[in-house]
Chains A and B, each alone.
Chain A
Amino acid sequence: SQQGEEDPQALSIQEGENATMNCSYKTSINNLQWYRQNSGRGLVHLILIRSNEREKHSGRLRVTLDTSKKSSSLLITASRAADTASYFCATDASGGGTSYGKLTFGQGTILTVHP
């Protein structure tokens, strides 16, 4: 399996429900990031969590990181139809210091929020 694998591959929910997506990875990391991609568009950075952090919040987003299990989760609360997109986790396992940069992306979770 690849570094940065998300599950589920697809998630379909009703507006107002919470959506949880998980990401697993294999190597030690400097940080883990979540991105969102609308169909046929570029990626939008959502949130970054560093290896020494366990939880982070941004608006309706909550990200957790468990480095012992090499896993992360993204929770979107009170989902909206506009949240419909693909969500990717990306890990930075480069040397740190000045050598950040090589992100390894998972396959993504396709989230569909029905109005």
Chain B
Amino acid sequence: NAGVMQNPRHLVRRRGQEARLRCSPMKGHSHVYWYRQLPEEGLKFMVYLQKENIIDESGMPKERFSAEFPKEGPSILRIQQVVRGDSAAYFCASSPDSGSRETQYFGPGTRLLVL
């Protein structure tokens, strides 16, 4: 059973471009979470999605950031018009549909560098 997959692992963008980060949850998981980690800091929650629904987006910046988890395909975190402050590692996690939902399994992350 493959773990949580994220791609790309590294992404370089110039200011003003768009960044698209993809996350495929573990098989059988329909709960996806996105976190951002700035250098030398802990992870900060961004958004919690289930298939086709945003459950909690309280950690998402109001502008330029959006997330989706369609019925088919991976979850996408989209950052429009990136700025240097968006440079960070973005982690996706997933959890199962069963009662053991509390444990989140993390992907390897996408490291975004904005030049």
Contacts and interface: CB of A to CB of B under 8 A. Distances in A.
Interface stretch (B12-20, B39-47, B68-76, B78-86): B39-47
B102 A100 contact: yes
Interface residues of A, number: 26
A105 interface: yes
Contacts of B31: 101
Contacts, number: 64
A41 B108 contact: yes
Contact of A42 (B59, B103, B108): B108
B42 A88 contact: yes
Of B42, B93, B104, chain A has the most CB atoms within 10 Å of the CB of B42
Interface in A52-109: 88, 90, 92, 94, 99-108
Given A4-B42, A101-B31, A103-B45, A43 B106 contact: yes
B43 A43 contact: yes
A102 B101 CA distance: 12
A101 B33 contact: yes
A30 B42 contact: no
Contact of B102 (A44, A92, A106): A92
A73 B104 CA distance: 20
Contacts of B115: none
Given A42-B108, A100-B95, A103-B33, A88 B101 contact: no
B45 A102 contact: yes
B91 A31 contact: no
Contacts of A26: none
Contact of A45 (B33, B58, B106): B106
Interface of B: 31, 33, 35, 41-45, 48, 55-56, 58-59, 91, 93, 95, 101-109
